[in-house]
Structure 1
Amino acid sequence: MAEEMVPNPRHAQLVELLKEVHSRSQEVGKAYQRVYASMQSEKVWTGPTAKKWTNEVGDNDHRLAQLVRQIVHAIEEELHRHPASVTRSQAELIRRQLAGRP
């Protein structure tokens, strides 16, 4: 008789991590966008230093988006390596490994 299939703890952990990355990146991205929009309006600060700083904020926003895409891609690749369901004994072994126990 085949062993009962249960949710894979590692898969579930990666799904939660992916949700967290999306949530946090949106928070930070919105913060950058608000600052960038305020600086571009030239109602907050003007001059050459302000323009340079505004460009740096825009560059950082683009860099953040690129890094988030790389992180999401890496998590998704790892997620595809772990099936959503495993046998009960495999799930117990995975839980022990995740807890740092042999």
Structure 2
Amino acid sequence: MAERMVPNPRRERLRQLLVEAEYRAHEVRQAYQHASSAMRSGRVWTGPTATAWTTELEDRHQRLGRIAQNVVDAVEEELRRSPPLVTEAEADAMRRELAGRT
């Protein structure tokens, strides 16, 4: 007799993680825009050092944005690979693992 299939608890945890990762990625993309705009305005700090600093800030900001998006992409990929239904025994094992009781 086949074991009853139930919703995959890991998928729900991944969905929650995806929401959080997307929110944080959005925060990261917005994080230094005010500072960058202020620097590019020419009213805060000018000169070669200011230009170099602003370029460095923007480069690091872009890199951080790409890294945050990589996290989102990885969670989405894991979610796609996770089956929507698992056996009750698998779900119980997943719940124990998610709770740190392996």
Same fold per superposition (TM over 0.5) = yes
* Counterpart residue identity of residue 68, structure 2: V
**Number of residue pairs aligned between Structure 1 and Structure 2:** 102
Structure 1 residue 48 displacement after superposition: 1.5
* 2:10 corresponds to 1:19: no
The runs of 5 or more residues in structure 2 that have no matched partner are: none
Deviations 1:28-78 (A, max 9, x none): 221211211111111111121111111011101211122122222221222
Task: Provide the C-alpha distance between the structure 1 equivalents of 2:38 and 2:5, rounded to a whole number of angstroms.
Answer: 53
TM-score (norm 2): 0.84
Residue 99 of structure 2 aligns with which residue?
Answer: 99
Contact preservation (8 Å) 1:6, 1:86 = yes
Task: Provide the C-alpha distance between the structure 1 equivalents of 2:23 and 2:88, rounded to a whole number of angstroms.
Answer: 31
Residue 32 of structure 2 aligns with which residue?
Answer: 32
TM-score (norm 1): 0.84
Task: Provide the C-alpha distance between the structure 2 equivalents of 1:84 and 1:45, rounded to a whole number of angstroms.
Answer: 54
Runs of 4+ deviating beyond 3 Å: 1-5
Residue 72 of structure 1 aligns with which residue?
Answer: 72
Task: Provide the C-alpha distance between the structure 2 equivalents of 1:54 and 1:26, rounded to a whole number of angstroms.
Answer: 21
Secondary structure of residue in 1 paired with 2:46: coil
The runs of 5 or more residues in structure 1 that have no matched partner are: none
Percent identity over the alignment?
Answer: 50
